[in-house]
Structure 1
Amino acid sequence: MQLDKLLRVAKWEVTKNAGGVDKRTIVVMALSLVAMGAVAAIAVSGGTGAGMDDGIYRIGVDDDSPYYGVAADDSTFDIREPDPAAIERRQQELLYRGIRLQNVPQTAKERAALTELRDSTAQYNDRTLARDDNQTAAFPVSVTLVYEQQSGSSQLDPRSGDSSDGSGSSDGGTSVADEGETSASSGSDSDTSGSTGTGDGSSDDSDGSNGDSSATGDESDSSGSSQETVDSNVSTSDSVASGGGDGGTAGGSGANLGAIGARLTGDVQGGTPSDISPPFPFESLVLAFLYIVPMNFVIQAYGSSMLSERLNRRGELLLVTPASRGDIIGGKTLPYLAGAVGVAALITAALRFGNIAPAGSYVAVLAVVPLVVLFLSATFCGAMFARSFKELTFVTVTITVTLTSYAFVPAIFTDVTPIALISPLTLVVLDLTGQSVGLSSFVFSTTPPLLTGLVLFGLGAGLYREEDMFTQRPIPLKVLDALAGGINSRRSALKMSIVLLPLVIVAELAAIAFLFVLDSVSLNVFGTNQSLGIVLVLGVIVVIEELAKSLHVYAGYEHARYDRTLRSALGTGALSGLGFFIGEKGLLIARLSDLESLPIGEAALQGATLPAGLPLWVAGLLFLLPLALHTVTAAISSVGASRGRRAYVAALTVAIVVHFAYNFTVVSTLV
């Protein structure tokens, strides 16, 4: 590539094709940008504004009732004058006189209104106590949650004391979690008798079944808490007011997105017992969504531009220029790459300076680059394969769904499992939330999609020539043309198996991410008790690997690059298997993550890694057996490919069965 020629092509792409996007696409893009801006505005404003559930519950309550402030702070309630007749006419759901509930909820809506009032009361108490100066007295109990892997060792919070006695921690008694269990201790230097916001379900003034309750204020001077709180005994169980204090939020070792979650949902974040709940990656979903959506619009414009070069034969003019194929493809891709990365940078800056994610930095932008390359390269291949804009639409939709799933699904488990590191978007979420991103994690997340993108650009570039660009062939035949472009001799089978390994790695990692949730489902297969997730992952991986070893061999036979003799077929298959065995060691990149700590990850990576603690001769045998396996199965497929399409499909099926039987036996024995 020559930089001056590349930039000249990029300038031509921007100036000549600026009007190539139709008006409908421009309108859709504009509306999407407006929608994303609205979401960002809501996030910045803390989630305030009109909601779909505003005023759906009508409550009759006096101005002097303790519950008036609760209802006034919750837009779900429509406050009205207390009217028993309105209750009879079903024009009010709840009726309060002072502190007592006057009606017994009978309908589903009335019961839902009472439940909502209970939750609102607890949140009202949280906010009230959080404004108190003496937080230790307001929140005498704090909790620290440590989420542990099932097979992992406990790593306690460094602020915690000795876990054997459950006490001795600072900040009003921080609890210590051991193997997923949580304990709490009250502060040794604070008098909790004055702390309010708790309800007594056995109070004389309360009927728990009807929701009647008595309000309690702060009547003690010993705690220093002077703000009035409403009794949260609207519910039938005792509760402890929460929402502040020194305890902080529960986070474990994953990304703690509580601050952003508070802005987006309005929830009060705290470290008190009432805040204990399983982690839900809602915030990760929102952040990942903001980065994925713009890419879909960029690839639409990019794919349309590339296909126009073929259908309108505009690319013929570039092919006769002194610029190389690399200069042309790089120059036409550069504006879209820069645009997508620029949008990611703007999103990161908006989140940072909008005080939504103040920790956002260049790491988030760098993590998006491999995804942009992957999206653009897949679209480039799709534009080279498609015969019309209608066909390109289906290809683009397939690319969008597939790659969005690969990038999006793992990222939503940022707080839960190392599976999340499969997607570079996880690095974005970690960076925006102030979590440190290690070099090994960055390399593991970004290298596979980046290399895959380069491979796809290489395959598409093989078709960027006059004899292929302007011919109309079905997509499957175009795929074979792209694969055959890199085949010159029988030794090319070894090279192609290595070159295609990044595609294999990305596909296998995606399979692990999609199927790991089934790891807890047991399945009795051939007398072994394996999980459904492991069985499915093994099946998917076998299909991916056998296709990667044999499809380019079949393409070579279809384009008469190999001799159709048994000896040639066996030799070509053996070289393909050897190349795959060498390239398969690229899966060792998984050691940069904790995937092997999961049973499904260990099963999926057993071909490239060896279990620890094995005798030397066993380790050597397990190292050589995969070589024999890949050589034999690739030779089987190669023999079938030399006989034609139907024979190739039959031979490929046999190779898949043999490969699966080997993998399942090894996993059942060693994993």
Structure 2
Amino acid sequence: MRPRKLLRIARWEVTKNAGGIDRRTVGIALVALALFGLVVPFIISGDTGLDDGLYRVSVDEESPYYDVVDSEGAFVIREGGERAVSRSEVELYIGDGEIVYAESRKGIAAYGQLQSAVSRYNNRQLRQELNQTAAFPVSVVLEYRQQSALGDGLRLGGDSGGTDDSDDEDGSTGQTDGSDGGESGESDGSEAGDTSTDQPDDGEPDGPATDRETTTDTGGSGGPIGGFGASFTEDSISGSPSDINPPFPFQSLVLAFLVIIPMNFLIQAYGSTILSERTNRRGELLLVSPVSRFDIIGGKTLPYFVGGMAVEVAIIAGLFVLVNGQLGGPVSVLAVMPLVLLFLGATFLGAMFARSFKELTFVTVTITVTLTSYAFVPAIFTDVGAVALISPLTLLVRELQGEAISLAEFVFSTTPPLLCAGVFFGLGAGLYREEDMFDQRSLRGRVLDALVGPIPVRGKPGGFTARLNGLLPVDVTPLRQYLAVGGLTAALIPFVFVVQLLAIALLFALGEISVVLILVVVAVVEELAKSLHIYAGYTHRRFASGRRRAVLLGVASGVGFFLGEKIALLAQLVGLPDLAVGEAGLQGGIIPGPPVLTVLLFLLAPLALHVVTAGISAVGASRSKRAYVVAVGTAMLVHLAYNLTVVVSVV
């Protein structure tokens, strides 16, 4: 790959596509960006306004409830009295000594909203008191801590958590029960025709606090959605019990949305330009030019990679300025880079598989859903230990919160998607040749073509093998095929690793059944990775027939997988195997601990398993398609039985 030629192709790619964009496309793109910019601040602030003006309320300006209703966005004030409720003109009527709500689901919901609004209003009034100890006698400090690497459950508070009861002026323990405040505005109610009137004894909400009150009910304070209104750097929450809400990963959801959505638009354009080279043989000129396929692929990908990274850098910089008030995020930029490459690599391979733009649409949608899930789902569990580190977006969240990020965590989060992107580009490069680019083969045929590309053709030795044949009395040409099969199996390990990590993130919350489901996923994915390219080689007649040759190919594939799966050692750096599902999904690459277990479970047993199952699949692949399906199914059952007997006993 020569940089000068690569940059020339990249410049040509930019100028060609820039000239093909009309004003209408530019206008639509600008409108989309403008709408995106308008929506983001509302999402970040948590003030989505979905329930604005949802409930109609009739209340007099002299009522103590007027300020409560007026300050609540879900309420809109309407004229009318108690009859307006019966005529369905309003959902609530607040009169002198009564609160009437409509006998409907919406009316009941409006009354519940009023109860919450009164509590929030009272809390706001109490926060303005000079003596906060008297206003909120009970103080709670809740501290969030990272899950330990020893497999302990998520600890909320730990030794520092709990309830801190502060004494009031009389020396007694402070406690709020909402019973004080006789001037709180409660009043007797009366019945009204077809409507329901709540009495104070039946649970009427406490009235809004007035200047003569010092205490009131402190329950029901909402607070910002997911804590996004608070600082990212806060590791603990303190305040009255009504201020403490269960953590919800709204921060991670928003960050995943901001980072992933631009990539989905990017791959649409990138996939289209790759497929356009295969339409009407437009890419033939580049194929016959004195440049390598890697120069062409790199030159066409570089503008989209640079553009995608520019957008991501702008988003990350904006987040740091918005949250921390200063620029930052170098680790976040490096963490997002493998995701951009992963999206582009998967799209490049999909564009080489697709035969038309209709098929490309299906492929890109599949890529969007799958890779968005990979980046999105683990990031939801930012506070759940090693599972969150499966997604590189977790590094962004932690850096935004001011937390330290170790080198092991960074390597674990970024290496799998980076290697997987390399696998996608490598398989796609195998198809970037005239006989494959302009051929209208089925998707299955193109997958097999991509897998068989690195395997040498029988009877055509390379230079090194030809020299060995002249020096040695034996034919060493088949050795290249064994090495190619083992190397291709090892090259597919990053893809297998990413699939297993995604399965762990999706299934770990299901309890004990998740371990069994993970083992099923492991058996299916690993056996396909060890045998598909062998089947592709037999369908393209790359291998000589015979059971002995098939068994040797299976041994080569099994050994290659055994050596390559040690990438799972990355998971041990962050403590992922300490979780049951983590140890079940990555058991082939982790070190059990004691020397005897290390030799048996880390070396001998997995090696024997991979060699045997790969040999079974290879023998079936050497016969026919139906025999291969039966053989690989048998290999999966053997693998699953091994997992259930050995792994479950260890886990």
Name the TM-score class by shorter chain: 0.7 to 0.9
Normalization by structure 1: what TM-score?
0.82
| SS across alignment from 1:143 | strand
**Residues 403-438 of structure 1: per-residue CA shift (max 9 Å, x gap):** 111111111222345322111122222223333332
Q: Confirm whether residue 643 of structure 1 aligns to residue 612 of structure 2.
A: no
Between stretches 560-569 and 84-93, larger displacement belongs to: 84-93
- Residue among 178, 195, 213 paired with 1:199: 178
**Residues 73-119 of structure 1: per-residue CA shift (max 9 Å, x gap):** 11222224572333443433333346x43436643333212211111
Q: Which residue is 1:535 aligned to?
A: 516
Higher helix share: 2
Normalization by structure 2: what TM-score?
0.85
CA contact (8 A) 1:566 1:639 kept: yes
Q: Which residue is 1:583 aligned to?
A: 564
Q: Which residue is 1:630 aligned to?
A: 610
| Cα distance in 1 between the residues matched to 2:344 and 2:81 | 64
| Cα distance in 1 between the residues matched to 2:503 and 2:24 | 36
Paired amino acid for 2:90: Q
CA contact (8 A) 2:178 2:215 kept: no
| Cα distance in 1 between the residues matched to 2:216 and 2:71 | 16
Pairing of 1:175-574 with structure 2 (within 5 A): 176-177=160-161, 183-188=162-167, 199-200=178-179, 207-211=200-204, 213-217=206-210, 219=212, 231-232=216-217, 239-240=218-219, 258-260=227-229, 271-355=239-323, 361-488=329-456, 489-518=481-510, 520=511, 531-574=512-555
Between stretches 443-452 and 462-471, larger displacement belongs to: 462-471
Q: Confirm whether residue 59 of structure 1 aligns to residue 52 of structure 2.
A: no
| Cα distance in 2 between the residues matched to 1:573 and 1:84 | 82
What is the CA distance between 1:653 and its match in structure 2? 0.8
Between stretches 315-324 and 133-142, larger displacement belongs to: 133-142
Structure 1 residues 412 and 41: alpha-carbon distance in aligned structure 2, compared to 1, 3 A threshold: same
CA contact (8 A) 1:243 1:271 kept: no
Q: Which residue is 1:121 aligned to?
A: 118
| Cα distance in 2 between the residues matched to 1:200 and 1:449 | 58
Structure 1 residues 154 and 96: alpha-carbon distance in aligned structure 2, compared to 1, 3 A threshold: closer
Paired amino acid for 1:400: T
| Cα distance in 1 between the residues matched to 2:106 and 2:559 | 68
- Residue among 584, 590, 609 paired with 1:609: 590
| SS across alignment from 1:414 | coil
What is the CA distance between 1:54 and its match in structure 2? 2.7
| Cα distance in 2 between the residues matched to 1:391 and 1:357 | 45
Paired amino acid for 1:200: S
| Cα distance in 2 between the residues matched to 1:214 and 1:304 | 62
Paired amino acid for 2:639: H
What is the CA distance between 1:47 and its match in structure 2? 5.6
Structure 1 residues 34 and 394: alpha-carbon distance in aligned structure 2, compared to 1, 3 A threshold: same
What is the CA distance between 1:659 and its match in structure 2? 0.7
CA contact (8 A) 2:558 2:611 kept: yes
CA contact (8 A) 1:140 1:190 kept: no
CA contact (8 A) 2:416 2:494 kept: yes
CA contact (8 A) 1:484 1:555 kept: yes
| Cα distance in 2 between the residues matched to 1:25 and 1:119 | 47
Between stretches 486-495 and 503-512, larger displacement belongs to: 486-495
Aligned-residue sequence identity (percent) comes to 53
CA contact (8 A) 1:516 1:600 kept: yes
CA contact (8 A) 1:58 1:77 kept: yes
Q: Which residue is 1:40 aligned to?
A: 40
Structure 1 residues 257 and 352: alpha-carbon distance in aligned structure 2, compared to 1, 3 A threshold: farther
Q: Which residue is 1:171 aligned to?
A: none
CA contact (8 A) 1:61 1:79 kept: yes
| SS across alignment from 1:436 | coil
Q: Confirm whether residue 111 of structure 1 aligns to residue 108 of structure 2.
A: yes
| SS across alignment from 2:587 | coil
CA contact (8 A) 2:347 2:367 kept: yes
What is the CA distance between 1:154 and its match in structure 2? 8.4
**Residues 163-201 of structure 1: per-residue CA shift (max 9 Å, x gap):** 5xxxxxxxxxxxx43xxxxx3122358779999996229
**Residues 440-487 of structure 1: per-residue CA shift (max 9 Å, x gap):** 221111110001001111111111122222222111111111111111
Paired amino acid for 2:89: Q
**Residues 307-358 of structure 1: per-residue CA shift (max 9 Å, x gap):** 1111132322222333222221111101000111111111122223344886
Gaps of 5+ in 1: 164-175, 178-182, 220-227, 233-238, 250-255, 264-268, 521-530
| Cα distance in 2 between the residues matched to 1:22 and 1:561 | 48
What is the CA distance between 1:64 and its match in structure 2? 3.5
| Cα distance in 2 between the residues matched to 1:399 and 1:153 | 34
| Cα distance in 1 between the residues matched to 2:325 and 2:538 | 55
Structure 1 residues 16 and 194: alpha-carbon distance in aligned structure 2, compared to 1, 3 A threshold: same
- Figure out how many residues of one structure are paired with residues of the other and give that number: 605
| Cα distance in 2 between the residues matched to 1:299 and 1:472 | 22
CA contact (8 A) 1:198 1:241 kept: no
| Cα distance in 2 between the residues matched to 1:105 and 1:195 | 39
| SS across alignment from 1:491 | helix
What is the CA distance between 1:213 and its match in structure 2? 4.0
Pairing of 1:125-144 with structure 2 (within 5 A): 125-144=122-141
CA contact (8 A) 1:357 1:432 kept: no
Structure 1 residues 213 and 543: alpha-carbon distance in aligned structure 2, compared to 1, 3 A threshold: closer
| SS across alignment from 1:118 | helix
CA contact (8 A) 1:288 1:429 kept: no
Structure 1 residues 72 and 186: alpha-carbon distance in aligned structure 2, compared to 1, 3 A threshold: same
Gaps of 5+ in 2: 188-199, 457-480
| SS across alignment from 1:294 | helix
| Cα distance in 2 between the residues matched to 1:312 and 1:303 | 16
What is the CA distance between 1:580 and its match in structure 2? 0.4
Structural RMSD (CA): 3.2
What is the CA distance between 1:603 and its match in structure 2? 1.3
| Cα distance in 2 between the residues matched to 1:358 and 1:123 | 33
| Cα distance in 1 between the residues matched to 2:344 and 2:72 | 46
| Cα distance in 2 between the residues matched to 1:543 and 1:401 | 21
| Cα distance in 2 between the residues matched to 1:494 and 1:38 | 52
CA contact (8 A) 2:141 2:238 kept: no
CA contact (8 A) 1:573 1:638 kept: yes
CA contact (8 A) 1:114 1:211 kept: no
| Cα distance in 2 between the residues matched to 1:31 and 1:42 | 18
